[in-house]
Amino acid sequence: MEYVIELCDVTKCYEGFKLDQVSFQVSKGCICGFIGQNGAGKTTTIQLILDIIKKDGGSIRVFGGDMEKDGPALKERIGVVFDEMGFHEFLTPKEINSIMKHIYAGWKEDLFFDYLNRFSLPVKKRCGSFSRGMRMKLQIAVALSHGAELLIMDEPTSGLDPIVRNEMLQIFQEFVLEENHTILLSSHITGDLERIADMVAFINRGRIILSGDKNEILENHGLMKCKKEDLKIIDQEDIISTRQSAFCTEVLVSDKNKCRQKYDKMVMEQATLEEIMIFYVNRSLGMV
């Protein structure tokens, strides 16, 4: 299998936070969801991948190359979307085009204006007056207009209304229809990733707690519902963590099929990515 992004034992230390030996791979042609709560280390990881900040240890390879050595050539193949627009507010899309066409060798002016038209973005209006959704669409238009094979996006749907979010997700799905196109998408909105991601990586407090095929993760994990006193019956090794709700105790298990047979009197339900994230975070906080 060909990997577009490979992280191996990547570390980065800040005061009060440490990205601790983060390792995961993003396969070519897939959408990889990078999930974590606020402050988990998603943005730091993405900035390390893009060589925006320097790592303290480990290795990162993008398209099989080293960003530190071949950064400009590799970045030509990467489209980036950040949570904040990053363009100067007095610039118009037309001016952004005149800037970008002299930066990216593969810039396609016609394609950029096609995207602007598709997204109904005014060409001569200052982007400072754009709404959040429009700013995101502008970033995506820029990211898609230079022949990028890899899209790296840091919380692109955060703060958007459901209609615009849906539109964004459709665009991302269209992008990966081409076999050599890949997306790494960080978000704490697990519903979006559950919808479009092929693989996911969970990060919590600077550590990868779970990564792999999304469907496999969803298939393997289950939410068992039982009474509080029934917890004693369940083996500790089967429990990821528990949560008390108004009516019962919920137990996340990592091997749904095995636990269904083992604890046949208990109700087993499908866990969502959000629930899996919450339970794993609770586990890391010691709330087992």
Partner 1 sequence: MIGLVRKDLYCLKKGLKTFLMVSIGVIVLSVLFILSARYGNVAKGIEEMKIENNMGEKEFYAFYQGFIWCVLVLPMAFLGIIAECFKEDKKAGFSRPLCSLPLSDGKIVGSRYISALLLAAIGMAASLLAGFFVSLVSDAFPLQKMLGYILCLNGAMLAYTGLQMFLTYAFGAEKADLIQCVPLIILLMLCIYLFQGKISNVTEAEINAYMTGMINDISNFMVEKCGLVFLAAIGCMALSFLGSWMLFRKRKGVI
Query: What is the dihedral angle through the alpha carbons of 173, 29, 181, 52, rounded to the nearest 10 degrees?
Result: 100
115 within 8 A of 140, measured Cβ to Cβ: yes
Q: How far is the CB of 50 from partner 1 (least distance, A)?
A: 5
Q: How far is the CB of 145 from partner 1 (least distance, A)?
A: 13
Task: Show contacts with partner 1 in window 219-258 (CB under 8 A).
Answer: none
Q: In what side-by-side order are the strands of the sheet with 239-244?
A: 239-244, 249-253, 222-226, 267-270
Cα dist. 24→51, 75, 89, 126, 200 in Å? 17, 20, 36, 39, 10
Task: Show contacts with partner 1 in window 88-117 (CB under 8 A).
Answer: 88-91, 95, 98-105
Q: List strand residue ranges (DSSP E) for 89-135, in order.
A: none
The C-alpha atoms of residue 8 and residue 254 are separated, in whole angstroms, by 24
Question: By C-beta, is 91 or 111 nearer to partner 1?
Answer: 91
198 within 8 A of 26, measured Cβ to Cβ: no
Q: How far is the CB of 96 from partner 1 (least distance, A)?
A: 9
Q: Give ∠ CA 151-152-153 in degrees, rounded to 5.
A: 115
- Of 71, 132, 50, 92, the closest CA to residue 100 belongs to 92
Q: How far is the CB of 48 from partner 1 (least distance, A)?
A: 10
104 within 8 A of 76, measured Cβ to Cβ: yes
The phi and psi torsions of 92 (rounded to 5 degrees) equal -100, 160
Question: By C-beta, is 73 or 285 nearer to partner 1?
Answer: 73
Stretch that binds partner 1, among 67-75, 224-232, 248-256, 280-288 (CB under 8 A): 67-75
Stretch that binds partner 1, among 30-38, 79-87, 184-192, 213-221 (CB under 8 A): 79-87
Task: Show contacts with partner 1 in window 15-54 (CB under 8 A).
Answer: 47, 50-54
Q: How far is CA 9 from the centre of its chain?
A: 19
Q: How far is the CB of 105 from partner 1 (least distance, A)?
A: 8
DSSP H or E segment with residue 114: helix 109-118
Cα dist. 251→237, 255, 276 in Å? 12, 12, 10
Q: How far is the CB of 134 from partner 1 (least distance, A)?
A: 16
Question: By C-beta, is 142 or 208 nearer to partner 1?
Answer: 142
Question: By C-beta, is 83 or 250 nearer to partner 1?
Answer: 83
Question: By C-beta, is 85 or 252 nearer to partner 1?
Answer: 85
Q: Which residues contact 136 (CB under 8 A, 6 or more apart)?
A: 81, 85, 156, 157, 160, 164, 168
Question: By C-beta, is 61 or 225 nearer to partner 1?
Answer: 61
# binding residues, partner 1 (CB under 8 A): 32
Q: How far is the CB of 51 from partner 1 (least distance, A)?
A: 7
Answer for which of 62, 78, 134, 276 binds partner 1 (CB under 8 A) is 78
Question: By C-beta, is 96 or 224 nearer to partner 1?
Answer: 96
Q: How far is the CB of 57 from partner 1 (least distance, A)?
A: 16
Contacting positions for partner 1 (CB under 8 A): 47, 50-54, 71-76, 78, 80, 82, 84-91, 95, 98-105
